[in-house]
Amino acid sequence: MGLIDFLFRMLGLKRESRGELPTSVPTKPRPAAKTQTKTSYPRLHPLRFKRERWSKVKKSSQKLSASTRPFSVPDAKTERPYPLANQDVRYGGYLDLSQDSDPVQLRELELPQFTNPPELAEWLGIPVGQLGWLTYQFDEGHRPLTQRAGHYHLRWQPKRNYSVRLIESPKPLLKQVQRKILREILDHVPAHSAAHGFVSGESILTNAKPHCRQRVIVKFDLENFYPRIRFRKVTAIFRAMGYSREAAIWLARLCTSNIPVDTKLPSMDPEVIFLYTPQHLPQGAPTSPALANLAAYGLDVRLEGLARSFGANYTRYADDLTFSGDDKFLRSLKIFIPLVEQIIRETGFSVNKEKRKVIRDNQRQAVTGVVVNQHPNMNRKDYDRLKAILNNCVRHGAESQNRDQHPDYQAHLRGRVAHLLQLNPKKGTKLQRLFERIQW
């Protein structure tokens, strides 16, 4: 049975027989005239409802009883199970999302236990209504109308590549809440071993040490690291800790930002709109570095495994990725670099290709500001600049050198000298003596 006959039978039509094929081929075959049979196909008309009838259908679908609801919403309640519970938009009523926590895992991580907004508010030491106010639960679209009504101070900061970055500093009450979340929750959850930024016991020095005396260093930069981490990702992080859906959603709301409706964007660049209009991780909040490290955990796992398979080293300091290796690794960079960029894209981040660098050992190799050609050391220009500042402070006074108006210039200089002491104790001791001669 041919394809044409099969289609005719499926449509319930009969096809006229053209007769049997000849058993022998004629010496001078003549092309037979092709006869086209007109077939009539059923015509489908678009289904149209009058507005009155459609409204009746819609109302009847909203009156479904609890017994006819699908199994995907088993915890919908006709009455509010607790204050600020989520409404079941599709079927009506309220959702109880507080029953799926993992108390065993929370105890193992030594995290506080709460399952719903009232318990979270009690742990934070604020009223439930204030918790709803901090998360814009009483605003349309969960977004403040004005910057005055928002909980962040916004500041657009230009970058070197003529783009902009949004710095969002939380106001006092929200900052106090976020610091409690950081201190009692996020600090108890370890980041990946390759992460050195904003991790207790790690620093730019520990980030640079694995790359000393290497044949080649490859550096990548994650573009717009913080705003690319969305509300859904932050919610998943708290869920992975063992918190219920309800608690994870509310913690994520406290740690992410929705820019106000009246925010004036510096340009109508689609990239700026795409980055900052959705609810995102704010750059400037106390909780953002720790959450960013946890959001990049999957990225660190894959990149460390890739580096190990190539015999290379891998570390990450915030959005700076660093790989290093020997001659064999150098020869494999044509394969290695595309694989790294593919993993970065697959994990939801983006590569800043303008900052990608391949540095061989016959060049000055610097990792997060630390020179690593032989041993960790400070850049010569930075050392000379700091030495000149300290000399001028001794001669002309400290105020003459505080051009950036640091509120505590003494602590600022002390920190820079302490940093040099870590990298190069011999040179650091010389500058320490200069620092002690300054009249404050």
Question: Residues of the chain whose pLDDT is less than 50?
Answer: 21, 23, 39-51, 53-54, 56-58, 60-74
Q: What is the pTM of this model?
A: 0.78
In the prediction, which pLDDT does 66 show? 39
361-406 pLDDT, tens digit each: 999 999 999 999 999 998 888 899 999 999 999 998 888 888 888 8
Q: What is the pLDDT, as a whole number, of residue 268?
A: 77
Nearest to residue 413, comparing CAs of 424, 425, 400, 402?
402
Site of tokens 């660049």: 269
d(CA 291, CA 248) in angstroms, rounded, equals: 13
- pLDDT at position 404, please? 82
349, 340 Cβ separation under 8 angstroms: no
Q: Which two tokens stand for residue 290?
A: 């720790």
Q: How far apart are CA 147 and CA 437, in angstroms?
A: 47
pLDDT at 160: 79
Full 3-state SS string of the chain: CCHHHHHHHHCCCCCCCCCCCCCCCCCCCCCCCCCCCCCCCCCCCCCCCCHHHHHHHHHHHHCCCHHHCCCCCCCEECCCCCCCCCECCCCCCEECCCCCCCHHHHHHCCCCCCCCHHHHHHHHCCCHHHHHHHCCCCCHHHCCCCCCCCCEEEEEEECCCCCEEEEEEECHHHHHHHHHHHHHCHHHCCCCCCECCCCCCCCHHHHHHHHCCCCEEEEEEECCCCCCCEHHHHHHHHHHHCCCHHHHHHHHHHHCECCCCCCCCCCCCHHHHHHHCCCECCCCCCCHHHHHHHHCHHHHHHHHHHHHHCCCEEEEECCEEEEEECHHHHHCHHHHHHHHHHHHHHCCCCECHHHCEEEECCCCCEECCEECCCCCEECHHHHHHHHHHHHHHHHHCHHHHCCCCCCCHHHHHHHHHHHHHHHCHHHHHHHHHHHHCCCC
CA 189 to chain CA mean position, Å = 17
- pLDDT of 46 reads 45
Backbone angles phi, psi at 328, to 5 degrees: -60, -40
pLDDT at site 43: 45
